[in-house]
């Protein structure tokens, strides 16, 4: 039986490059409610096993805004060194964007709009917009300039992380800014939303998809056991409450919010769904023994994805 599809990776020693988070990274409140500790003592990324520092990774909920965050977290330098070895192709997932195109036209009231996509990767979403007749600037913001993305860009490429303070760009705001599977990667959500306020024109739209910490799957087993929290590159975790609070401070009104599956599962085939359902059944049956059982078969034992679970949120926010 395959559990996560990954053979046990080579271990890397715990390195410097970790930082403690002592206050909410979104609202700076020191009030927090412990949610538990990640049970492992390492992250898996590609073929690497990245050991934790001496401290366990704690998961906390902010007592003011409700954001969930981890501490300690890897610093940018440590992340960059791991990404350099394995990031190529990791987030390039085939996806049919036709539902997103329909919603984009509804938001903009037509096909004439200036669009900025954050976390563009290989530019598949921008390419789908071009193929779907979306006219106007098609721009990108990402930490890496992926091969193939330039062909889909008709505006600017902003080489930065969303939560970098003071990055350079044209200064011409956008009608719609999309950020699919981006907000969980932030170290500085307050800086990110300040940047988003500048990037979105007054009356324009911010369209977000990210994991939902208040969904059934993390509530059923504990957010510190949630597969989404147990990823090296994920640092903060949102709910409708926390998103509405933090975005509101920066001048955005939450117009609509709905639960959804991760886009990779919206396109999954029967074989892939069947394999995950089998792993999910084993996980529900054996609980905490799942990791040991997986290791017996030479596999990683992270919590499996429930392919029918709606553990992500999709939100549309309007700049006031």
Pick left, alpha or beta for residue 232 (phi over 0 → left; psi -120 to 50 → alpha; otherwise beta). alpha
Within 132-214, strands assigned E span: 138-142, 157-159, 174-180, 200-211
pLDDT in tens, 141-197: 999 888 889 999 999 999 999 999 999 999 999 999 999 999 999 999 999 999 999
Q: How far apart are CA 255 and CA 238, in angstroms?
A: 16
- When the pLDDT of each residue in the chain is averaged and rounded to a whole number, the result is 89
Is the torsion defined by CA of 10, 11, 17, 18 positive or negative?
Answer: positive
pLDDT for 89 = 57
Domain ranges in the chain are 10-86, 98-265+306-319
Rounded distance, CA 159 to CA 29, Å? 30
Does domain 98-265+306-319 fall under CATH 3.40.50.150? My reply is yes
Name which of 77, 74, 93, 86 is nearest 9 in CA terms. 86
What pTM did the predictor assign?
A: 0.90
Q: Among 198-212, 233-247, 248-262, 278-292, where is mean pLDDT lowest?
A: 278-292
């Amino acid at each position: 039986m395959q559990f996560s599809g990954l053979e046990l990776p080579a271990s890397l020693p715990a390195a410097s490059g970790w930082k403690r988070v002592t206050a909410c990274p979104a609202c700076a409140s020191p009030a927090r409610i412990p949610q538990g500790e990640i049970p492992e003592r390492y992250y898996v990324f590609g073929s690497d096993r990245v050991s934790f520092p001496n401290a366990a990774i704690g998961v906390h909920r902010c007592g003011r805004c409700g954001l969930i965050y981890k501490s300690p977290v890897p610093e940018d330098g440590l992340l960059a060194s791991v990404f350099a070895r394995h990031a190529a192709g990791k987030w390039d997932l085939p996806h049919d964007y036709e539902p997103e195109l329909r919603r984009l036209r509804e938001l903009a009231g037509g096909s004439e709009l200036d669009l900025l996509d954050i976390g563009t990767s290989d530019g598949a979403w921008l390419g789908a917009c071009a193929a779907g007749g979306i006219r106007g600037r098609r721009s990108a913001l990402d930490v890496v300039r992926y091969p193939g993305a330039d062909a889909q860009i008709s505006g600017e490429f902003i080489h930065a992380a969303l939560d970098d303070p003071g990055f350079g760009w044209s200064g011409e705001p956008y009608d719609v800014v999309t950020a699919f599977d981006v907000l969980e990667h932030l170290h500085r959500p307050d800086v990110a939303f300040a940047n988003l306020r500048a990037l979105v024109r007054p009356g324009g739209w911010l369209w977000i998809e990210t994991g939902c910490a208040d969904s059934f799957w993390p509530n059923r087993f504990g957010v510190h056991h949630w597969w989404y929290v147990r990823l090296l590159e994920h640092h903060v975790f949102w709910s409708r409450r926390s998103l509405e609070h933090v975005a509101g401070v920066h001048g955005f009104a939450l117009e609509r919010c709905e639960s959804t599956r991760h886009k990779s599962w919206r396109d999954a085939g029967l074989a892939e769904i069947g394999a995950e359902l089998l792993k999910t059944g084993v996980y529900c049956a054996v609980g905490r023994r799942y990791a040991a059982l997986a290791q017996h078969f030479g596999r990683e034992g992270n919590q499996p994805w429930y392919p029918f679970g709606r553990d992500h949120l999709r939100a549309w926010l309007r700049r006031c």
